[in-house]
Amino acid sequence: MGLLFKVRNDDGEDFDIIPIEIVKTLREIYDIEIKKQGYIKLLENKRLRSKDYLVDIIERSGINVSKYLRMNELKDIIVNNVKPSVLLGGFNSRDGLSSDIIYEWVKELGLGVSGTKETRIYKIIEYFDSYKEKVVVELDDERIQWFDNYELLAARNLEELRQGHVISKDLECEKKFEKATDYIFQVLLNNAPLDLIGSEHPDGILTFNDKLIMWDNKSKETQVNLKDHMAQFDRYIRSSEKNVASFLVIGPSFTEKSVEEAMKYQLLNDTVITLITAKELKDLAVKWNSKKGDETFPLGYFKQPGKFNSKLISY
């Protein structure tokens, strides 16, 4: 059995892929805790701005450095020579960043704060391990127009969408609603969706630590009734190779029974069903982008059973 296998996407492009099961084994063999781009992003955090702290960690790792090195030079040394678990936790249980600092960091990222200091450190590492570089979006990105009309697309307001030259055919409404959602996660919330192959999958998938967050768009002229779609969503969740932490359903609005259905599903399964309206997601994206810019939105906020509550988010 080889390490690589070739797949082809819907556009006919071929990719060489290493199966996730093999990736995990290779990382264990080579003792790799985090991808390089994620480690670089982790080092940008305000809690790691002390030059003395970085120099101390480097020297105690057996590397002699000049105290006159610049911060970017120290960070380069750390990325290439010091594991993130050592950078954050030091060399023993009383070493590294304080428990209070680690606790606040985990809380800020929207991750669960339960567990020991070591557990929280690995939550931080897993979070940044899933970090992806922000995609540079051209000003003429056609998805911007679809995002501007996001609520109309969700509600299938076909007449107004045609008048605004957003769509020319009814069939375009659903697809442009999906593409506008990609834009929200990729550009405004700085969480790049995974590339999906084939047709039997939800509209989008995001990496969340060692799990996944899925979403599906429901463009309807009436309220979305979750029960009508649960067989489809349950199929996506059960066929996933990785555990699904949360499944987002994005629509114009939802019936009251949908909330009951979401709560019922969580009681019988390990996956949270979160109902979020197009208006709520759009408002969240605009506010996050205006206040946080390039910061990655903590996906843990989407683990809300039933109706989404934007008041829980810290900006």
pLDDT tens-place string over residues 114-162: 899 999 999 999 989 887 665 555 556 889 999 999 999 999 999 999 9
Q: Give pLDDT, residue 258.
A: 98
Q: Give pLDDT, residue 146.
A: 95
Q: Is 7 helix (H, G, I), strand (E, B) or coil?
A: strand
Query: Which positions ≥6 away from 155 have C-beta within 8 Å?
Result: 219, 220, 221, 252, 278
Identify residue 84 by its one-letter amino acid code. P
Please identify, in words, the CATH class of the domain defined by 187-312: alpha beta
Q: What is the mean pLDDT of residues 176-183?
A: 97
Q: Domain ranges in the chain?
A: 33-129, 187-312
The pLDDT tens digits of the residues spanning 31-63 come to 788 998 899 999 999 999 999 999 999 999 999
The pLDDT tens digits of the residues spanning 298-315 come to 999 999 999 999 999 987
Query: C-alpha dihedral over 152, 155, 157, 161, to 10 degrees?
Result: 30
